[in-house]
Chains A and B, each alone.
Chain A
Amino acid sequence: MANEAVLTKNFGTKNSHTLGVYEQGGGYKALKKALTGMKPEAVMAEVDKSGLRGRGGAGFPTGKKWSFIPKDSPKPKYLTVNADEGEPGTYKDRPLMELDPHAVIEGSIITCYAVGIHSAFIYVRGEYVKSVQRLNDAINEAYAGGYLGKNILNTGFDLDIVVHRGAGAYICGEETGLLESLEGKKGQPRMKPPFPAIVGAFQGPTVINNVETMAAIPPIVNNGGEWFNNLGAPGVGGGLKLYPISGHVKKPGVYELPMGTTLRDIIYKHAGGIRDDKKLKAVIPGGSSAPVLRADEIDVKMDYNSLAAIKTMLGSGAIIVMDEDTNMVKTLKVLLKFYAHESCGKCTPCREGTGWMDRIMTRIVKGNGHISDLDTILSISNTIDGKTLCPMGQAAIGPSISFITKFRNEFEDYIRKGRTN
């Protein structure tokens, strides 16, 4: 059965990134409907009903997040759209921005209307030059078309959107690191509370939402929250999700599927199974920070709760597939080098812990490891656990703990062989 395409429906259309084509496909209808026929509270209610949870990684219910923004604020309120897409394995927001930038913009305008915001920023990672261009072009078209600026669609609602380009730092994807970076500072996360909903960008109350979250808003407004919720797998709900899958599969790509599709189905039915028909060894189900799963754990449904129940997470939904020939020791080394490199250095457990784990893994890979190094890494991980300023510390120990506990024999073999030759 062909799956319904909602977020990806325009991807195959020629010039899908232009306003004319977007409008022909029903674009900006949702905006008209919301602005001319719905109160802000009614928009929020539909988003609540939709079961939409943030697609950036933490999975916070979107409607609820919006409801935390104070109605009356002496300071201006802001929306910042998180287009930093730095979580290794994740490449789903880029096609949305390149192929359907108006969907991201329409979703952002509706969000601002619902929350009472008149200024929005889209924070795009520095490497995504084409996304920046496409968004800027689309924003210019939207201004010219009366969808942005003053008195949008003659309803009296005003909104400006600015694209802000990052400059290479994974930590700027963390919401408060992003705010610092937006304000022209080093992207070092802030202490919470206060939460961004109260004190965010430029000290104003701020909504931070992922690109995919924004793109889901227009269809929810068009068809209703209940409709979207029902697109999720039976008993799961929560709509459709973009699953970018990469690694040793025959057909890597971004698949739009019901929330709660099983990991097995995504790998074998949609992505064509393992390359060269090899055996599956391991899968990371939600971007590099999600604890790894063994091949016997893939009958899990890909949704927030089902993955949490087996001690991993949906994260960004990015699936990284490893076949039987994968060297888990070297793979963990790659990941720990990444976290050590990207730790912003603001708090000790993360800064020192990630660096230390990286140095130990370097030694192990070179063949100079000790079996006791494995317990040292686990103990460093436990020291990081829950003791860092931002969730990046947690992100780094997802791989370290899971790789070593689930593939301990392979690590021990590697260390023993390394030390004998």
Chain B
Amino acid sequence: MNKVEFSKKTLDKFKSVIAKYPEKGAALLPTLWLAQQEFSVLTPEVEEYVAGLVGVSPVRVQEVRSFYTMYTARPLGKYHLQLCTNITCSLLGAEELLEHLKKRLKVNCGETTSDKKFTLSAVECLGHCGTGPVIQINDDFHESLTRESLDKLLDSLK
């Protein structure tokens, strides 16, 4: 396996990040973000590398990584479909949309389609309740969903 290492560009970013905090360890969350952007998956090797950079124990990195839902230790599909199933979205029909997605993609929550294109997750309130139901796909939000608009959206993702 290749040695886990940031590219020069990411390393520069890391250096400017760590300089912003009064304690090195505080840079752990932003460094995990950089690592996830660079390596996609936060494997134990990546965790160990990050631990070395930030100057904390690998166990602390693992603890922190697993506490937060947005860090991932397993590969995700090309598109991570995160449907909000919290209160407002569920009042507006999110549950039906979730069932529809499960059927259409033939996966359960937390699973990835066999072509690695989609990972499906049901998530908590995404802060877009006024335009629910809402789905976050990678970094983008899609609002006021209906079954039809959701289907169209998935069709458009190549």
Contacting pair A334 B87 (CB below 8 A): yes
Contacting pair A169 B69 (CB below 8 A): yes
Interface size class of A (residues with CB under 8 A): 35 or more
Which one of B23, B90, B126, B129 has the highest number of Cβ atoms from chain A below 10 Å of its Cβ? B129
CB contacts between A and B, total, < 8 Å: 132
Contacting pair B29 A162 (CB below 8 A): no
Stretch at the interface among A16-24, A35-43, A177-185: A177-185
- Closest B residue to A161 by beta carbon equals B20
The 0/1 profile, CB within 8 Å of A marked 1, for residues 80-105 of chain B is 00000111101110000000000000
Q: How far, in whole Å, are A252 and B89 apart by their CA atoms in the complex? A: 12
Given A88-B124, A246-B130, are A129 and B87 neighbors across the interface (CB < 8 Å)?
A: no
Asked whether any CB of chain B lies closer than 8 Å to the CB of A106, the reply is no
Asked whether any CB of chain A lies closer than 8 Å to the CB of B109, the reply is no
Asked whether any CB of chain A lies closer than 8 Å to the CB of B33, the reply is yes
Contacting pair A170 B124 (CB below 8 A): yes
CB distance from A172 to the nearest CB of B (A): 8
Contacting pair A162 B33 (CB below 8 A): no
Pick from A127, A162, A247, A326: contact of B127, CB under 8 Å: A127
CB distance from A239 to the nearest CB of B (A): 22
Contacting pair A334 B86 (CB below 8 A): yes
Given A168-B70, A331-B90, are A184 and B132 neighbors across the interface (CB < 8 Å)?
A: no
19 pairs, CB–CB < 8 Å, chain A vs chain B: A76-B22, A86-B124, A88-B124, A88-B125, A89-B88, A91-B128, A91-B130, A94-B127, A127-B136, A128-B127, A129-B139, A164-B29, A167-B29, A167-B32, A168-B70, A186-B67, A246-B88, A331-B87, A334-B85
17 new A-B contacts at CB < 8 Å, known A88-B124, A181-B29, A288-B86: A76-B22, A89-B125, A89-B129, A127-B126, A160-B20, A167-B69, A167-B71, A184-B27, A186-B63, A186-B67, A187-B68, A244-B130, A252-B129, A288-B125, A335-B87, A338-B86, A338-B124
Question: 5 closest pairs, A vs B, by CB?
Answer: A184-B28, A167-B68, A168-B69, A168-B70, A246-B129
Which A residues are within 8 Å of any B CB, using their own CB? 76, 85-91, 93-94, 119, 125-129, 160, 162, 164-170, 181-187, 202, 244-248, 252-254, 284, 288, 318, 320, 322, 326, 330-331, 334-335, 338, 341-342
